[in-house]
Structure 1
Amino acid sequence: MAHWKRFIYVIIALFSLQLTARAQETETFVHTIKQGETVYSIARTYQVSPESILKLNPTASTGIKAGGTLTIPQQQNGTQEKRFHTIQAGETLYKLTKTYQVSADDICKANPGLTAENFKAGMVIRIPASTMPVNIAPAKETAQPQGVAQSGCREMHKVKRKETLYSIAQNFNLTEAELKAANPEMNEPGYKLRKGDFVCIPFPKPEKPKEVIPTNEELMGKKTVSAPQKKISLGVILPFKGGTPENEKMIEFYRGVLMAVENMKRSGTSVDIFAYDSGKSPGDIQAIVNNHPLNHLDFIIGPLYPEQIAPLSKFCQHHHIKLVVPFSSLGDNVYENPYYYAINPPKSYQFAEAARLTTELFGKENVIFLEGTENDKDAAAFVDATRKRLQQNGSKANHLRLNDDEIKWMEAMTQYKDNVIIPNSSSIKLLNQLFPKLKEFTKKNPEYRIKLVGYPEWQTYANNHLENFYQFNTYVYSSFFRNPLNGNADEFENAYQKAFHTPTLVSWPRFGMLGFDTAIYFLKGISTYGEAFDQHLSQIVTTTYQHRFDFQRISNWSGFINREIEFIHYSPSHSIELIRLKK
């Protein structure tokens, strides 16, 4: 008895382990880390806490790198409203519809960035709740033909001399088992087939129709057809009132938008523009969407303040209106609103792209990380991203302190390559200390070739340090640039002054140019491609004065961030050029 109890306990234990293993499989999924992602951004993408990710991936607490993987917990919301699935090798969209009992159309709607081309192993997609009805009707039985005298036999065959079960079965395209099933006496002991016996020849079993499995392309259907849209409605929601310097910048931004609207009108596109003062609070935004008919707008530009983004994003997502956020990089709604466009992306993505450019341009040179006396968190993040990228590519870097003596500087440098110096601070204070040091060192040691890599903020120091930038072959990474040596900048500023009888503000960036560049990109794109706008983002051709755009989704269900980063190169030949490397 004890033996049987022990056996039953073992069976129960094994069954419990199987259930636990299956539960763990379905309660987690695998995410492949992409460039610029952090544990926080990944947590926001999947709407889980960073702590829950670190619990499953303890080593991630010391950092993550592109190409690695993380185990992610499914949302613990007590419902099956939506879950995430990592596509496995060989899986198809059709197979997922069967696995999750969800229609292909619903999966595609939940993943607006999903295409037949990017449906690949390792990609994570969102699975919505099942909406497919469960078929509980009993399957209809196929009517069988009655045969000879309703016997179920196709015919009665009279056995001939030398015939066997095998030869009869072969003659009628049957198996011996099928023949015996139709003639039960053949299974009796001692049965022998004799000449003259009558054998029931059954009807062949009806063939099951082969299941036609549709391809991903067929299930996803045709993409939205591009069609020109010659009437566009645009909303601008910014803090215009108050008379502060901040308000003046927003007014200049709006004037840049108006210049873009006039440009489109001259090319034959009608644009209706609606402007609203945003106030400062989320309640002010809510009052605007409650009290004004905004549902008809094609896109909205704004707001300025991060705390106002959520209510406006919610409204735009509900009404399928594109929301263009030109200033803040803190809008977490980009992770869940597919109609969200962030001109200024989260900093981690900026640092990752800048590190990629730096490594591709200078990876074979002698890179030197220069440590100043200040603590600059953003610059440190860029330096760290660049260091890791160099290590991944098998490149080494040297290190210097700003206050090191000349001998240590010479030990860190080489005469056989360009020496690329990357400071760990973007401050004017560091530059004021660095340039005299570089001038003294190169005067004594002219055999060393030096290049300098710097930060977007350095554009604001050009008035004081332009000659130094030229002298030390300086490269500044940035997502925007107003080139003072380019006639286009003067062209815009002259047109602005003529239209509004006032010059543009001296600011960084130039807000009038930012307004124009933002509006002209979206107006031109919608005018050219209509509802298929987001399928042609890289094909939109516009003339911009300061900003360029490279919008990409963070995930298949998210909004878009601008991944555009380029180098501003101040050459010793006293020229300025933009360097953009292909991804």
Structure 2
Amino acid sequence: MNFNKVIFILAFLFCVTLQAQKFETHAVKQGETLESIAKKYQVTPYAILKLNPEVKNGVKANTIVVIPVSEKSQTQPGGNSNIAGPEGNVERFIEHKAKRKETLYSIAKEYNISVDDIKRYNKELYSRQLKRNEIVQIPVFSAVANTGSVPQVREGLVAHRVAPKEGPWRIAYEHGITVDSLKTINPSMKEVLKEGDTLWVPFVAGNNKKPVEVDAYNYYTVLPKEGFYRLKVKLGVTQAEVEALNPEVKTDGLKAGMVIKLPKNKMGELTVNNGQLIEKFSLLDSLNYDQKSTLAIVLPFKLDELNFENIDSNKEKIKRDKLLSVSLDFYTGALMAIDSVKKLGLSLDVKVFDSGANDAKVGQLASSGKLTNVNAIIGPILPSTFNRVSSAVRSSNTPIFAPFSNKGLQMYSNVYQTLPPDDLLREKMLKYIKNNATNKNVIIIADKNNAAIKSKLQALVPGAKVINPIEDKFIRLDEINPFLSSEKENWVVVETNSIPLLTNITGVVNSAQTPEYKITLLTTLKGDAYDSDNISNMHLSNLHFHFPTIDKLSDVNANFSKQFDAKYGTTPNRYATRGFDLTMDVILRLAYNKNLDYVSAKVSETEYVENKFDYKKGLSGGYYNTALYIVKYDNLEIKEAKNDANLNSNILGSTSN
């Protein structure tokens, strides 16, 4: 027989065997050894070691090991991998203390039983509601005959339904096992989990699950042969810090695959994805040069309105027509990106279409079928025309990217909103303030239109002082002076989009700053009022003004700016730079994998000249860019603000191109 075929058959048989293997979990008790556990489950010590390499130096009490179920043990009474339910015998009870806002339904879901099961053994709950701190008896059923439905419990394991944004590390951490053990129990587990996937996990009583607190900590999966010294070099975290947050490490030591909790500010050069510290991911290092991608760019060039025999007339039209001007600027940047990727050796076919100035033009394009055989679409710009095109390609699930809109979009499953929504800008800035307001004297100034955000700030920063503008028009210097501290840095958070009020506030606060009083100005959302000529950039710079933004200014001496100037004879504006950044990102994602749903889950944040992208799937469909910057004025320049307590809790990787 052909040698390659032999290898293939053996590999196939191995996979089948692996899929058929069944497992149990065992909580190690004091005095137990590897040999005694193996004898109990009628397997060899080697079989346990194979699934739990971390116990090669012996097992330790209060840890969990994965046990392969032998054919012999499966035939013993109670050894079936079957569902548990009300028809089974109750083996024991677990005492559950009801928490605030907890319901019978949520408790039943936590223990994979029904509400009726709980009421059956807590009869007082038939006639009244569950009370906070009440002790509820939770029945644990023995296995019964399999009915052919999806199993919910099997020999110490329970079925766990994957929640949104839940990765393997989080599931392993909550259930007290390593990621490797989770993979062993679930050999067909995919690299990227999807909401609704079902995995086997050890049974852990709800109150005993280890909570994941991504707002307060980061989490890290220990690599093979990684000790405390390596963690110190890699993350800047000491052994004492690790052991303080992870008591099991003090008794059991570090194990490969173990998920440990770490302080937010200890992350080294790693990046964060939903609380997990991981190595940075580079798209440029992962491109598939053998596949060809097709990209469509749809912009309102309004070619029907241009007179190609009269250049001066066209120049005047471009100056007057803001939409046309933005489209051309964006397109020049896109062309720079296309040239760049072709120099990398990528195979790319680009189709450019004019969406025109009205819905009729874009309607013709949408119904023409010209956009059906492309891998991705960028544009159109206006929400109305964008929605027309996104609806037309919805049935083919062609990814379509909105270059400038974060409002008015129909968020179909194939839509990518590339501008973060305003709510997210505010949310990230609120987190920045919360994480960095320690030892700051916080003063809030908000008009009546921003009463809601004022309340949020007061809740986040207890003890913050509040100044209410007089008739929503102005504040006085003698109102702010009594609130200033000479011992702490003063943070003045301003919430208004009124030009007269903002002009007054920035002037007054700037006047209040003296060598004795250090003042920083902040806002959770920088509105159009800040662009008014009445607002002094000198005042904003003096006050080191901090705000969230979708992009940051790039250096005019950067490579992109120099190359753009050499090609077009001018420096790129923000629209041209965005055209480069967005087009480059879409092309590189396609070159990595044409399934952009997979890419969004796997790659996440990428960063270019002035923009970065980190797409997360929305609850109602479509993808939202969640990547943004917190920036500050510094000597009349805008620079990225350093965050003392890591902000980017939803980042998987970063690619600087």
State the TM-score, normalizing by the size of structure 2: 0.50
CA shift, 1:511, in A, is 0.5
Given that 2:355 and 2:362 are in contact with CA atoms closer than 8 Å, whether structure 1 keeps it comes out as yes
Tell me the number of residue pairs that the alignment of Structure 1 and Structure 2 aligns. 382
- Amino acid of the structure 1 residue aligned with 2:508: K
- How do 1:316-331 and structure 2 match up within 5 A? 316-331=393-408
Shift of 1:459: 7.2
2:599 pairs, out of 499, 517, 533, with: 533
Name the structure 1 match of 2:118: none
Over 3 Å counting, the alpha-carbon distance change for 1:321 and 1:459 in structure 2 is farther
Aligned to 2:546: 475
Distance 1:471 1:277, change over 3 A: same
The residue aligned with 2:204 is none
**Pairwise CA distance, 1:96:** 13
CA gap of 1:405–1:498, structure 2 versus 1, over 3 A, is: closer
Determine the structure 2 residue equivalent to 1:294: 371
Cα distance per residue 1:316-338 (max 9 Å; x no partner): 3321211111111124432x41x
**Displacement after TM superposition at 1:286 (Å):** 3.0
Larger Rg: 1
Residues 1:582 and 2:648 aligned together: yes
Per the alignment, residue 487 of structure 1 pairs with 557
For residue 236 of structure 1, give the secondary structure of its aligned residue in structure 2.
Answer: strand
Q: Establish whether residue 570 from structure 1 lines up as the match of residue 647 from structure 2.
A: no
- Per-residue deviation at 1:419? 1.5
- Corresponding residue number in structure 2 for 1:239: 300
Aligned to 1:89: 110
| Map 1:105-184 → 2, pairs under 5 A | none
Post-superposition offset of 1:114: 7.7
Letter in 1 for 2:600: D
Unaligned ranges ≥5, structure 1: 1-67, 72-84, 101-109, 121-213
**Match in the other structure for 1:348:** 423
Alpha-carbon distance change, 349 to 223 in structure 1, aligned in 2, over 3 angstroms:
closer
State the match for 1:552 in structure 2: 616
Give the 3 Å change call, closer, same or farther, for CA 290–572 of structure 1 in structure 2.
Answer: closer
What is the distance in 2 between the residues matched to 1:554 and 1:431? 34
SS at match of 1:279: coil
Q: Which residue is 1:449 aligned to?
A: 518
Decide which of 453, 458, 466 is 1:398's aligned counterpart: 466
Q: Is residue 413–residue 448 contact of structure 1 (8 Å, CA) maintained in 2?
A: yes
Of Structure 1 and Structure 2, the greater helix share is in 1
In the alignment, the residues of structure 2 paired with residue 263 and residue 89 of structure 1 have an alpha-carbon distance, to the nearest angstrom, of: 52
Instruction: State whether structure 2 residue 445 is matched by structure 1 residue 370.
Output: yes
Shift of 1:467: 2.9
Structure-2 change in CA distance of 1:566 and 1:70 (3 Å) = farther
In 1, Cα distance between equivalents of 2:507 and 2:541: 14
User: What letter corresponds to residue 477 of structure 1 in structure 2?
Assistant: P
Write out aligned runs for 1:187-202 (5 A): none
Quick check: 1:475–1:569 contact (8 Å CA) kept in 2?
A: yes
1 CA distance for matches of 2:454 and 2:487? 22
Secondary structure of the residue aligned to 2:395 is helix
Would the alpha carbon gap of residues 432 and 392 (structure 1) be closer, same or farther in structure 2, given more than 3 Å must change? Answer: closer
**Of 498, 504, 508, which aligns to 2:566?**
498
Q: In structure 1, what is the Cα distance between the partners aligned to 2:464 and 2:556?
A: 37
SS at match of 1:333: coil
Equivalent residue number for residue 483 of structure 2: 412
AA aligned to 1:487 is N
Partner of 2:536: 465
TM-fit CA distance, 1:399: 2.2
Secondary structure (helix, strand or coil) at the match of 2:445 reads: strand
Matched residue SS, 2:433 = helix
SS of equivalent residue, structure 1 residue 318? coil
Q: 1:254 to 1:305 in 2, by over 3 A?
A: same
Instruction: Work out the CA distance in 2 between the residues paired with 1:265 and 1:95.
Output: 58
- Over 3 Å counting, the alpha-carbon distance change for 1:451 and 1:249 in structure 2 is same
The superposition leaves residues 65-112 of structure 1 with CA deviations (integer Å, 9 ceiling, x where unpaired) of xxx9999xxxxxxxxxxxxx99932559x9998599xxxxxxxxx999
Q: Deviations over 1:529-549 (max 9, x none)?
A: 443422323364x5x222122
Report if the CA contact (8 A) 1:537-1:551 is conserved: no
Q: Following the alignment from structure 1 to structure 2, what is the Cα–Cα distance between the partners of residues 351 and 575?
A: 19
- Are 2:467 and 2:479, in contact at CA under 8 Å, matched by a contact in 1? no
SS at match of 2:482: helix
Cα deviation 1:157-192 (Å, max 9, x = unaligned): xxxxxxxxxxxxxxxxxxxxxxxxxxxxxxxxxxxx
Structure 2 vs 1, CA of residues 86 and 525 (structure 1 numbering), >3 Å: closer, same or farther? farther
Give yes or no for contact 2:477–2:512 (8 Å, CA) kept in 1: yes
Q: Which amino acid aligns with 1:527?
A: A
Give CA-to-partner distance per residue, 1:36-68, whole Å, 9 cap, x none: xxxxxxxxxxxxxxxxxxxxxxxxxxxxxxxx9
Tell me which residue corresponds to 2:86.
none
Aligned residue for 1:388, secondary structure, equals helix
Q: CA deviation at 1:409?
A: 1.6
Distance 1:433 1:287, change over 3 A: same
| Pairing 1:512-527 to 2, within 5 Å after superposition | 512-527=576-591
> Are the counterparts in 2 of residues 493 and 504 from structure 1 also a CA contact under 8 Å?
yes
User: What is the aligned-residue RMSD (CA, Å)?
Assistant: 4.3
Residue type of the alignment partner of 2:609: Y
Q: Equivalent residues in 2 for 1:181-220 (5 A)? A: 217=186
Displacement of 1:464: 7.2
Q: Deviations over 1:9-39 (max 9, x none)?
A: xxxxxxxxxxxxxxxxxxxxxxxxxxxxxxx
Deviation at 1:440, TM superposition (A): 3.3
Does the C-alpha gap of structure 1 residues 271 and 579 become closer, same or farther in structure 2, counting only changes over 3 Å? farther
User: 1:119 and 1:284, CA in 2 relative to 1: closer, same or farther beyond 3 A?
Assistant: farther
Q: Call closer, same or farther: CA 1:468–1:462 in 2, change over 3 Å.
A: farther
1:551 and 1:562 in contact (8 A); partners too: yes
Give, in whole Å, the separation in 2 of the partners of 1:111 and 1:310: 30
Tell which has more relative contact order, 1 or 2 (C-alpha 8 A, sep 6+).
1
2:380 is the counterpart of 1:303: yes
- 1:539/1:309 CA distance change after superposition, 3 Å: closer
Q: SS of the counterpart of 1:421? A: strand
- Once the two structures are overlaid, the 10-residue window that deviates more, 405-414 or 252-261, is 405-414
**Is 1:285 aligned to residue 362 of structure 2?**
yes
Distance 1:394-1:283 versus aligned 2 partners, 3 A rule: same
Deviation at 1:215, TM superposition (A): 10
Which one of the candidate residues 326, 333, 337 is aligned to 1:249? Answer: 326
1:412 counterpart letter in structure 2: F
- Whichever residue aligns with residue 603 of structure 2, its letter is L
Q: Separation in 1 of the partners of 2:378 and 2:107?
A: 34
SS in 2 for 1:570: strand
Change (3 A) 1:301 1:363: farther
Q: Distance in 1 between matches of 2:599 and 2:511?
A: 54
Residue in 1 that maps onto 2:452: 384
Q: What fraction of aligned residue pairs are identical, expressed as a percent? A: 18
Superposed CA offset, 1:210-243 (max 9, x none): xxxx99956765659x872542211111211154
Structure 1 residues 217 and 390: alpha-carbon distance in aligned structure 2, compared to 1, 3 A threshold: farther
